[in-house]
Structure 1
């Protein structure tokens, strides 16, 4: 197998020059298990580990190699084991905030061309959830695509498709069936030879079943979906790269229970392009679109141009992202803390005056 088939490009070739002088060779990480990895390259698939120096660097910055990364490797002299000396710069990366109360980025995978958001017509499909996935996808630097699976189980799938298309502004939405094969031709054209796509979505959407159909075999085990709750079992436990018969590459991921945003506000310009455009007409440049006079977004909400659910999701995501930005900037955190101290002091003074006036 040539590395070109794995997505090797001039971008990575230029980055690799520094390692090439040390006798390293390139390979792509197809599975990541913390300190040990499966790599794919011109020697086929093999296991690899990080060098002590690289492992220390990863522990220090909290950024470990992930599925889809390109690595520079050498051979250990005695055992000929593959050693990862470095990770090439990422062209794209899909990230979310790490689950829990901490503040850290969790990179899900890297160097994908397309982020495919997989849902299913038999689930309690919610277009608002698609908007959250789209914010992550746009922020990754890759092209998003929405795929709604299991159209064979819903007679009214065309109505749900139209509703999703309204929520996914400027993004292609495909209705497919992994069971019957309907609509898969269009999906295969997206995952072209040498191109990488990642499947993301809730458990039970049929990501792994879809991958099995595209790959022409049982790439991974699939789980049943509860008939009453439509909740699927997490049959994919790792992020794994699969090469399709047509030469395309797919990274399958476990179902995401939490979609913690890790993005900057510019990503909302794609997920909520209609609202961002309308906001240009607001009287104030720093309008929060909640209660200011002359707010064009509130006016559009009142006349029905913008749907309430769409608007509320925009406001929620905007607040989340701004909160992340405050956490990441210690100066903003300090200013925010001082502002609330002043507000608290003023509130206490007002309460004191009120008591004195009684």
Structure 2
């Protein structure tokens, strides 16, 4: 095993040379256990303690990141010196009240957006995954699992092609082996592929099939609602025997992209163009005269489902941006208070 197998290439080597100091060596994070990180190096796997980040302003360290590490003789531990600039980054707004970015996958070359051909088949969810994928910088590929449980595979593939134009779509079955050989072409030495999708779509089963052995635990789906039980609990990079690195991730049923500039343009550029051609720039797309959206909906040029998806995303993204602004103003206010306190202490002396 070498770091080249794990995706080390000219992109990282260039920055590595710029930042390299005596005693440092490159390592890639391959598993995240919370406070402990596992990394791959040319000398084998090592464990690293996650640096403390008391104020929440430090850079996130995610599975897939490349680091420069140094062994500290005093601490008897490997210490992170720096995180190398990321080639790609798939992220979302973290679930919960806190306003923060959650990096789901770092430095991946290809993103497999996985849906199963049973009750998980959901185009609104796929659109969100596609937006985040395009903004990540990685190449998106749609993989439809459990083809053996579907009677109308080709018609569902057609729906996906219409939703994600220009993106490759594959239907596979880990039971019958359908489509698996076609998928293997993506897994070549040094390439990293992330598997993203809801719980129960068959990500872990897919990885085990590719590896030819049970690398990940799997569980079946509940018969009453076709939903999968949560199997993967942490992100992990796995080196495949025939080359390539695969990243399995915990299932995500909801996803709001942290940023959606390029992704929104690619996925909803036609909708935004129509909305921008209304007679009035502040058109609410209701009863105003010259509303291009209403005209497009009535003529069938704009699909009602896509319009509602775009509207919902716009509202959610606007709400997220407002929360980001609020957090920024709060931090600025805190910084102002600290500075005023510092000046007051100086005047005392």
Q: Same fold (TM over 0.5)?
A: yes
Counterpart for residue 215 of structure 1: 211
1:225 aligned onto 2:221: yes
Q: Match of 1:112, SS?
A: coil
State whether residues 131 and 260 of structure 2, in contact with CA within 8 Å, keep that contact through their aligned partners in structure 1: no
* Farther off after superposition, 15-24 or 211-220: 15-24
State whether residues 265 and 318 of structure 1, in contact with CA within 8 Å, keep that contact through their aligned partners in structure 2: no
Q: Match of 1:5, SS?
A: coil
**TM-score, normalised on structure 2?**
0.87
Counterpart for residue 44 of structure 1: 44
**Could you tell me how far apart the structure 2 residues matched to 1:303 and 1:222 are?**
48
* Farther off after superposition, 123-132 or 12-21: 12-21
State whether residues 62 and 106 of structure 2, in contact with CA within 8 Å, keep that contact through their aligned partners in structure 1: yes
Q: Match of 1:147, SS?
A: strand
Q: Match of 2:108, SS?
A: coil
Counterpart for residue 302 of structure 1: 298
Q: 2:188 aligns with which of 178, 192, 200?
A: 192
Counterpart for residue 266 of structure 1: 262
**Could you tell me how far apart the structure 2 residues matched to 1:293 and 1:191 are?**
54
Q: 1:134 aligns with which of 111, 126, 130?
A: 130
Question: Residues 201 and 58 (structure 1 numbering): CA distance in 2 closer, same or farther, change over 3 Å?
Answer: farther
Counterpart for residue 11 of structure 2: 11
**Could you tell me how far apart the structure 1 residues matched to 2:293 and 2:328 are?**
27
**Could you tell me how far apart the structure 2 residues matched to 1:73 and 1:290 are?**
58
State whether residues 135 and 261 of structure 2, in contact with CA within 8 Å, keep that contact through their aligned partners in structure 1: no
Counterpart for residue 348 of structure 1: none
Counterpart for residue 347 of structure 1: none
State whether residues 116 and 144 of structure 1, in contact with CA within 8 Å, keep that contact through their aligned partners in structure 2: yes
1:170 aligned onto 2:166: yes
Deviations along 1:12-36, one digit per CA (max 9) or x if unpaired, are: 1122234412320001000012331
**Could you tell me how far apart the structure 2 residues matched to 1:97 and 1:172 are?**
26
**Could you tell me how far apart the structure 2 residues matched to 1:148 and 1:170 are?**
16
State whether residues 58 and 64 of structure 1, in contact with CA within 8 Å, keep that contact through their aligned partners in structure 2: no
1:149 aligned onto 2:145: yes
Q: Match of 2:46, SS?
A: strand
**Could you tell me how far apart the structure 1 residues matched to 2:63 and 2:128 are?**
22
1:93 aligned onto 2:80: no
**Could you tell me how far apart the structure 2 residues matched to 1:131 and 1:279 are?**
19
Query: 1:329: how far off?
Result: 2.9
Question: Residues 190 and 121 (structure 1 numbering): CA distance in 2 closer, same or farther, change over 3 Å?
Answer: same
Q: Match of 1:6, SS?
A: coil
Q: How many residues align?
A: 330
Query: 1:236: how far off?
Result: 0.5
**Could you tell me how far apart the structure 1 residues matched to 2:54 and 2:28 are?**
18
Any stretches of 5+ residues in structure 1 without a counterpart? 335-358
Deviations along 1:229-254, one digit per CA (max 9) or x if unpaired, are: 01101111110001122311111001
**Could you tell me how far apart the structure 1 residues matched to 2:64 and 2:262 are?**
25
Of Structure 1 and Structure 2, the greater helix share is in 1
Question: Residues 294 and 69 (structure 1 numbering): CA distance in 2 closer, same or farther, change over 3 Å?
Answer: same
Q: 1:238 aligns with which of 226, 234, 247?
A: 234
**Could you tell me how far apart the structure 2 residues matched to 1:292 and 1:267 are?**
29
Counterpart for residue 203 of structure 1: 199
Deviations along 1:148-195, one digit per CA (max 9) or x if unpaired, are: 001111121111111122112332211111222211222222233211
